[in-house]
Amino acid sequence: MIREFEENDLTAITQIWLDTNIKTHCFIPKEYWTDNHEMVRSVLPQAEVYVHEDDATKRIDGFIGLSDGHIEGIFVREDVQSNGIGKQLLEYAKCVKSNLSLRVYQKNTRAIQFYQREQFVIQFENTDDNTNQKEYVMTWKK
């Protein structure tokens, strides 16, 4: 089930954010993510966030964060990745937005392939000022 974020989801989703970023972005020092954890924890409640909650266990398995039509990130617990949760979250966002954009690190080839399968197009290359990593800006239109 996908639903809107509730305040009591904060601990679960920030842990998913931290774990997923450390695992997926091994080319960025772990300290970057741990140093930003509290900042993310403070800004998430102001964002447009939708969570995927397992119907049976009520456990949060993933979430998507949006800022207007920009996807700040899709994060799925490692133990349930590749089960369609990210796709469900993205489909939900496509239902509520007519245009979407995102930034993805070029070294995150798995994510790039996922977004291309979902009809996102690379618009241009950029460098993330915070990490000095090359990234793509990708867009999707209904």
Q: Say how far apart CA 115 and CA 138 lie, in whole Å.
A: 8
Q: Say how far apart CA 90 and CA 128 lie, in whole Å.
A: 23
On the question of pLDDT at 74 being above 90, the answer is yes
Q: Tokens 């969570």 — which residue?
A: 51
If one counts the domains in the chain, the total is: 1
Sequence-distant (6+) residues with CB within 8 A of 93 are 50, 64, 66, 71, 100
pLDDT reported for residue 38:
95
Instruction: Specify the pTM.
Output: 0.93
On the question of pLDDT at 70 being above 90, the answer is yes
Residue-number span of the structural domain to which 48 is assigned: 2-141
Angle at 51 between CA 86 and CA 23, to 5 degrees: 55
Contact indicator for 13, 20 with CB cutoff of 8 Å: no
On the question of pLDDT at 30 being above 90, the answer is yes
pLDDT reported for residue 46:
86
Q: Say how far apart CA 80 and CA 68 lie, in whole Å.
A: 27
Contact indicator for 101, 79 with CB cutoff of 8 Å: no
Question: What is the CATH number for 71?
Answer: 3.40.630.30
On the question of pLDDT at 23 being above 90, the answer is yes
